[in-house]
Structures are given as structure tokens and as C-alpha cells.
Structure 1
Amino acid sequence: MSQPAPMITKDGRFAYEAAGDPNATPLIFLHGIGGAARAWRRQLATFGNRFHAIAWDMPGYGGSAPLASVSIPALADALQQFIAQIGAESPILVGHSIGGMIVQKWLVQSPKLARAIVLAQTSPAFGKADGDWQKSFISARLGPLDHGETMKSLAPSLVKELVGDDPDPKGLELASECMASVPEASYRAMMLALIGFDQRSTLKDISVTTLLLSGSRDNNAPAPMMAKTASYIPSAEYVELAGAGHLANLEQPDAFDRALGGFLDAVTARHG
């Protein structure tokens, strides 16, 4: 049976896609550096029958206005403005990669506003600007752009590096389309915003019900690191998806949705 298309909306500074009853519990999806609101269309279709499922275009992506100065704290402020703008009360937040970093930073300033959170294939820290791993990570991703490549030309190889075993072909295609459409200025700014991010000291203060969702083949947010992160969060559950790389919701949409759905069932039972 075909799923209804999501509603694509531009509201002030933010563009987003949504599905479901606006009066239902808000379920907000936050994409990664190479993503877009449309990367979550499968999840909007899956969960729009139970929730008001919403996926934003991060500032500087799609129809959302860029920030004057990009940083994780500024993105967390933008998230709070977005939540207020759409009138989302007690939302459940699903943050992938840098989206999960934004959620962690947002929780520090708004610790009681979320009903629950999902940290999907993300990290509590990126590290120091002068760290060898960090420097090589940034160089590998920005170097080709410095030498004349474009996001469109780089997209297939960038996505191939991110995925694990036997990714869903349609998900792979959508991942490449999203990556190719990221404005170069936004991609550069978001990569540099990672430097120095470190919320490890605040993990113990996360007081909302939390799911950490990892992929066993994810090299950007390795599963052992995510499992360790879960051990520092008081009410965290940890789920690892076998064979998934860094883009699990696109690579293994059925497995991702089952894991997320099970968590949402538990949250709903607990909170009503």
C-alpha cells in the first residue's frame, strides 16, 4: 500500500517535512552533515500513523536559512527556536550523527523539555582541533573540495565510505541524492563545527529516557564507543544493528524502524 507523501513546509527560518496528526506526540528527526529532511521520509511514513513525525532541514540545508556563525551551541539554539516555532510540546527527538550532537547540547539548556531522545550513530565528543585523528578526518572530507571537486561529484564515494553490508538500494540512492544537494558552504561549516565538541561530562545529567542506536559496521561512530556512552547515561538503552554502517535508517530501514518502534512503544507505555 502506498504511503501518503509528507507535507513539505517552510515556516519562517526553517523548512521541514511532516506526516501525521499535528495534535499527536511530536517525533522530531534531525539529520546528519550529509543528510536532509527527506532522508527521513521512510520513518515519517512508518511513524506518522502514531505520532506527528517531523524532519527538519538543518540550518543551511534545503529551505532552511543558514546561521550567521555555525557551531553546535548555535545549532542547539536553532533547534529550540524550531521546536517553539512549530509548537512541539514534550517532543521525542531522534538525532543522527551531528543531529545527535545537537540534541546533546540542547539537553544541557533544556533538560526537561523532551519526552525521550534517541541518539543514533553519534558521539558525545569529537575532540581537539590539533588532534591527529580530527585533523585527518577534516582533511579527508574538505581536501577534495579544496582541489576542485564538488558535493555532487563526491557524493557517491562519500556515501560508499559510510555504509555497511548490503545497504538497501533505494536508501543508498537517496543518501547520495541528499549528499549531492548539500551546499558546499554548509558542509564545510558543519565539518568545522565538530571540532572541540565534547559533552562527555554531561552524559550523567541526561534525565530523560534515552535510546542509543549504533551500527556494527559504523566507522564514524563505532559501536563499542556508543555502548560505552550508554553506560554513562542513567536511563539509557543500547541497541546495535548488525551489518549497518553510519546511515542505518537508509541502509536498513526495516531494522532501524523496528528498533525505534520498540523504544517508542516503551516510552508511550511509560508516559502515555
Structure 2
Amino acid sequence: MSVNFAEYGTPTGAPIVLLHGIGGNGRLWAPTVAALAHRRVLAWDMPGYGASAPLPEMTFPALAEALAGMLDRAGVTKADILGHSIGGMVAQEFNARFPERVASLILLATSAAFGSRDPSFAEDFVRTRLAPLDAGEGMAGVARGVAKVAFGEAPDPAAEPDCIAAMLEVPEASYRQTIACLTTFDRRDALASIAVPTLLVAGEHDRMSPPKGVARMAEKIAGSRFEVIAKAGHFAHLEQPAAFNAVLTGFLEA
């Protein structure tokens, strides 16, 4: 399948791939892209999002294969991989399957596994997240619910409206498919085998991917670096872009 991606920065620069979250798209990385002008930046639209066709069945192995195919089309053998939320899960899956293609990992507001092995937890999660769609409220209802819990203190004024605008563009079918896929993720067994430089970043007030969980991931990845973005919630790269960009570029340039 063909995955849509946008290119920014310097064509001859070292490549970095940006993988958005469950309610996003490639354009939502604009503040991050601005700090990477000297790099070759590839921001994908996850399958089923933006201009990317959906997968017949969304699974993490299929998403990793789709990313590999995108890199092949772009002529990129190896890249730094930055993933936010479910994008961070895709990054972990990609590293587990194609470690030779990963220069470094930047895992933002993510987890090594879905919240619980208890099937009832997954069922409750899916029911809650899809309730606005089932009630006929559409993605506007989803966006309202996410906005209530996603942001921290004093976010950049553009963060919330940009996130809501991106969520409104997500097809309902893709959102349902992605929520179901999310509940299957578990790569805890792969953390100790991550051998590339790895930066893990959490928002201080993130209720979706709390800092303590991201810190536990960092403890299991040898030589990794863990940073907390003060005041931020789940969208640290949008809420506190200057602070996030400083951490990101400091890691990439080290």
C-alpha cells in the first residue's frame, strides 16, 4: 500500500521520521518541523489518516511494514524515528522488526503496552473512547472528550485548536480501527533489547501516558535518556514547543 508523507527541511540532511498520534496527522508536527530545518524530515499520515489509504486490517506488524515501505519509496535506508502516543508504539514495533533501519528512537507520551492484560479493561476502554461515535456525535464528540483531559498548564494558544482540527479530519472508520489496534499492543519484552540511542519524553501533567510509566520504560532501556516537559499534558510538542524542541535537538545533536 502507499503511505502519504510530507517532506520538510533539507533534502541532504540526516533523515528523521515523525509518527503522529491517534487523533493527528502529519501536519500536526509543524512546531517540531520548524526546529529541524537542517534535517530531512518525513512526516507520515498513518494508514487510514490524511491522504493515506487504510490497511485491510490495522495491526502493529502491518503498520511497521507500511512504514518500511514508505522509507523504501523515499530512498531512506536508516533514520531517527520520533513517535507520539500510538506513533511511539509504531516506532517500537518498527525497531523490533527492522532494527537495522533505526538510527535512534524518540518516544513521546507513549507506552510499551496497552494499559492492562485484563480483557474487561480493553472492552471498557474501547466502549468509552467510541461512545461519542456510537451516540452519533461524530469526531466532534471525540475531540471534545479528548480536549477535557489532554492538555496541561498554560499551553501554547494554538495547541488545542490545532489538535481539535486534526481530530475532526480523522475518518470515523479509521478511528474505530485504530482504537481496536491500540488495545493489542505489548512490546514490554522488547525494551531491554533496544540498542539504539533512545530519548523518552513525558508531559508533566499527562493523564494519558503518565510520566511514571514512561520513566519505567526508560529504566529498562540501557543508556536511554528520560525527560519531563514542565506544564505539558499529552501533547508536549504542541503545548510547550520551545521546551520540547530544546530537548529533542539536544538529544539529536549529542
Query: TM over 0.5, yes or no?
Result: yes
Q: What is the CA–CA distance in structure 2 between the aligned matches of 1:140 and 1:155, rounded to whole Å?
A: 13
Matched letter for residue 232 of structure 1: K
Structure 1: segments with no counterpart, 5+ residues: 1-11, 267-272
Deviation at 1:18, TM superposition (A): 1.8
Runs (4 or more) in structure 1 with deviation over 6 Å come to: none
Q: Give, in whole Å, the separation in 2 of the partners of 1:140 and 1:74.
A: 26
In structure 2, the partner of 1:46 is 35
In the alignment, the residues of structure 2 paired with residue 21 and residue 236 of structure 1 have an alpha-carbon distance, to the nearest angstrom, of 28
Q: Is residue 23 of structure 2 the alignment partner of residue 72 of structure 1?
A: no
Asked if the contact 1:127–1:196 (Cα under 8 Å) also holds between the matched residues in 2, the reply is no
Report the equivalent of 1:5: none
Aligned residues: 254
* Residue 224 of structure 1 pairs with residue 188 of structure 2: no
Partner of 1:169 in structure 2? Answer: 157
Distance between the aligned counterparts of 1:187 and 1:264, measured in 2?
32
List alignment gaps of at least 5 residues for structure 2.
none
Which amino acid in structure 2 is aligned with residue 42 of structure 1? P
Aligned to 1:8: none
**1:27 corresponds to 2:16:** yes
CA distance in structure 2 between the aligned counterparts of 1:129 and 1:204, rounded to whole angstroms: 20
CA distance in 1, matches of 2:171, 2:121: 25
Indicate if the aligned counterparts of 1:19 and 1:45 stay in contact, CA closer than 8 A.
no
Residues 1:63 and 2:80 aligned together: no
Report what 2:87 is aligned to: 99
1:137 is displaced (CA, Å) by 2.3
8 Å contact 1:127–1:198 — kept in the other structure?
A: no
Q: What is the alpha-carbon distance in structure 1 between the residues aligned to residue 237 and residue 96 of structure 2? A: 26
What is the rounded CA distance, in whole Å, between the counterparts of 2:10 and 2:146 in structure 1?
Answer: 36
Partners of 1:25 and 1:97 in 2: how far apart? 24
Q: How does 1:256-271 map to 2 (within 5 A)?
A: 256-266=244-254
Deviations 1:10-66 (A, max 9, x none): xx7122222122221111110000010010011112212x10112111010000111
Alignment partner, residue 139 of structure 1: 127
**Following TM superposition, by how much is the alpha carbon of 1:132 offset from its aligned partner in structure 2, in angstroms?**
4.2
Q: Find 1:233's aligned residue among 211, 214, 221.
A: 221
1:119 equivalent among 84, 104, 107: 107
Deviation at residue 127 of structure 1 after TM alignment: 4.6
The equivalent of 2:197 in structure 1 is 209
